[in-house]
Amino acid sequence: MNGAAALTFERSLAGRVIGRDDADYDESRRVWNGSIDRRPAFIARCATPADVATALRYGRAAGLPIAVRAGGHSFPGHSVCDDGIVVDLGPMKSVEVDPVARTARVGAGVLLGELDSATQRFGLAVPLGSVSHTGVAGLTLGGGFGWLMRRLGLAVDQLTAVDLVTAEGEVLRASSEADPDLFWGVRGGGGNFGVVTSFEFRLHEVGPEVLSGLMFWPLDAASEVTAFYRDWSAAAPDELTTALVFRRAPALDVVPRELHGRPVVGVVFCWSGEVSEGERFAEPMRWFGDAVDLTARRSYVEHQAMLDPSFPHGLWIHSKAANVQSLDGSVGEALISLAHEIVSPRSGIVAWQLGGAVARVGPMETPFAGRSAGHLVDLLGATDGPDGFEREREWARHGWEALLPHRSGVYVNWMMDDGDEPVEAAYGRQRYERLRRVKRRYDPGNVFRLNQNIPPD
Ligand SMILES: Cc1cc2nc3c(=O)[nH]c(=O)nc-3n(C[C@H](O)[C@H](O)[C@H](O)COP(=O)(O)OP(=O)(O)OC[C@H]3O[C@@H](n4cnc5c(N)ncnc54)[C@H](O)[C@@H]3O)c2cc1C
């Protein structure tokens, strides 16, 4: 950094400023998606809301683009930019659990696994996502679905308040009483309105043991498995959240050697109610055909990290997603046919089952638009590095096109910024217009634009 202003800025931060000359610059500018390679002017490691306000003021005064980073898992890499400032919330790691009031106050740099560990000490949990190194902040601000959603709803449905720093450096608290419009906006509208420095969640009794399923069959059985899964999951109580998966079987010890690298269809589930009841309900699916069945009673924390090995840091990935009403007929066939085309052992299709508590929240209560969808389908074109990435990306795009006739929307946290669809598609006209009004009030200059951007109206 050069100049007196930069020096003052650097000295006034409780955290640390990392510039291009620092030894850990390369490590610090990296985000989870390995295909993103951007070089910010510097990275402000913010330890307090005051640091965030200082970084924003400095970035604005210097005319720099501002990226905000929590867990760094944005698929399109919105949390890092070229030649701008990264407001890195990583150091803000506090988690305060009140087991009596059943609430948690969570710093913006906390990862899912860290929050799950803290709450599970009391047998409690916030419904979060499915990979433990994802950031609570970005996941929640977009909606946040995961293994408890059919029983308890999305992560945003548990929010009771947030603390936020505006583009002007003002510190605000938003809840249904204080700034209800802003509170509505942050429950799905992403980081468009300011930098959230802490989240307050309602907690629920979960686990400590859940029934956690992972089973798969060779892809040749996909039509039968998909049809059986459709009926089985349609009858599921809310304690069960499931996903249908297509990919190549990983070369893990728990997977029979003859299936390593072969295309498979899988069912993944989490039963968070009474475990023996879950075992009874899961039986027909587990016994269907010749399933390779890795279902087990696991601690909730263990379950939450179960998919981590499939999503290591540095993976090159392109995500294309669509909400669909059902996996019947041509949707099911399209997915199976796409699964036959998967080349990379890292690529895959995940179709999450919605319904239950997600659908019981009114369509305008939060900006999250997919509440009435049957399934959220994500096509993940991925490789370990640049080799073959272009091909996998094209596969995901062409799969997305095949789903277009059936698509009823898209989850904002699964979108890229490839220009294929407007951000409005993730919200629908009414919610989008309301978000634009909130944006005009809190960020009229669109300082927070490195995101799935909602321009002020
Ligand atoms: C491996 C993997 C698994 C996933 N699984 C799920 C899942 O199960 N369920 C689900 O719902 N989603 C899932 N997602 C999508 C995930 O919700 C988004 O990628 C999310 O944006 C990640 O949040 P983050 O904090 O890690 O990301 P970041 O890249 O740090 O941030 C993402 C976006 O949010 C903004 N942002 C982050 N923190 C703040 C803040 N405090 N204030 C204001 N703006 C902020 C950033 O500027 C950026 O635009 C997954 C993603 C990955 C890569």
Q: Which CATH number fits domain 209-414: 3.10.580.10, 3.40.462.20, 3.40.30.10, 3.40.640.10?
A: 3.40.462.20
Name, in order, each residue with C-beta under 8 angstroms of 211's C-beta and a sequence gap of 6 or more: 269, 270, 271, 275, 278, 279, 282, 295, 296, 297, 298
Closest-lying ligand 1 atom to the alpha carbon of residue 71: 26
Q: Which fold has domain 3-88?
A: 3.30.43
Closest-lying ligand 1 atom to the alpha carbon of residue 352: 8
Which of the listed residues 43, 115, 413, 423 should we mutate to test ligand 1's pocket, taking the one with most ligand atoms within 8 A of CB?
413
- Is the pLDDT score of 157 beyond 60? yes
Atom 31 of ligand 1: nearest residue by CA position = 138
Q: Is the CB of 68 under 6 A from ligand 1?
A: yes
Closest-lying ligand 1 atom to the alpha carbon of residue 131: 3
Considering the chain, what is the average pLDDT of its residues?
96
Residue 75 CA, ligand 1 centroid: distance in Å: 8
Atom 16 of ligand 1: nearest residue by CA position = 139
Residue 71 CA, ligand 1 centroid: distance in Å: 7
Output helix, strand, coil percentages for the chain, rounded to the nearest 5: 35, 25, 40
pLDDT of amino acid 427: 97
Q: Is the CB of 108 under 6 A from ligand 1?
A: yes
End-to-end CA distance of the chain: 36
pLDDT single digits (tens) 52-108: 999 999 999 999 999 999 999 999 999 999 999 999 999 999 999 999 999 999 999
CA distance 160 to 165: 17
Residue 221 CA, ligand 1 centroid: distance in Å: 34
pLDDT of amino acid 2: 58
Mean pLDDT of 214-228: 96
Which of the listed residues 139, 315, 453 should we mutate to test ligand 1's pocket, taking the one with most ligand atoms within 8 A of CB?
139
Q: Can you give the pTM of this predicted structure?
A: 0.97
pLDDT band at 136 (very low <50, low <70, confident <90, very high): very high
Compute CA distances 167 → 63, 77, 285, 442, whole Å.
13, 21, 51, 8
Residue 79 CA, ligand 1 centroid: distance in Å: 9
SS3 category, 233: helix
Overall CATH class of domain 95-205: alpha beta
Percent of the chain with pLDDT over 90: 94
pLDDT of amino acid 350: 98
- Is the pLDDT score of 289 beyond 80? yes
Partner residues linked to 205 by β-bridges: 124
- Is the pLDDT score of 277 beyond 70? yes
Closest-lying ligand 1 atom to the alpha carbon of residue 164: 42
Residue 413 CA, ligand 1 centroid: distance in Å: 7
Q: Is the CB of 174 under 6 A from ligand 1?
A: no
Query: Domains of the chain: which residue ranges?
Result: 3-88, 95-205, 209-414
Mean pLDDT of 259-270: 96
Q: Is the CB of 34 under 6 A from ligand 1?
A: no
pLDDT of amino acid 456: 94
Mean pLDDT of 201-230: 97
Which of the listed residues 31, 43, 79 should we mutate to test ligand 1's pocket, taking the one with most ligand atoms within 8 A of CB?
79
- Is the pLDDT score of 400 beyond 70? yes
CA distance 333 to 17: 51
Any idea what the Cα angle at residue 121 is, between residues 117 and 124, rounded to 5°? Answer: 85
- Is the pLDDT score of 152 beyond 90? yes
DSSP string covering 7-64: HHHHHH-SSEEEETTSTTHHHHH--SSTT-----SEEEE--SHHHHHHHHHHHHHTT-
CA distance 123 to 22: 42
pLDDT single digits (tens) 16-28: 999 999 999 999 9
Q: Is the CB of 135 under 6 A from ligand 1?
A: yes
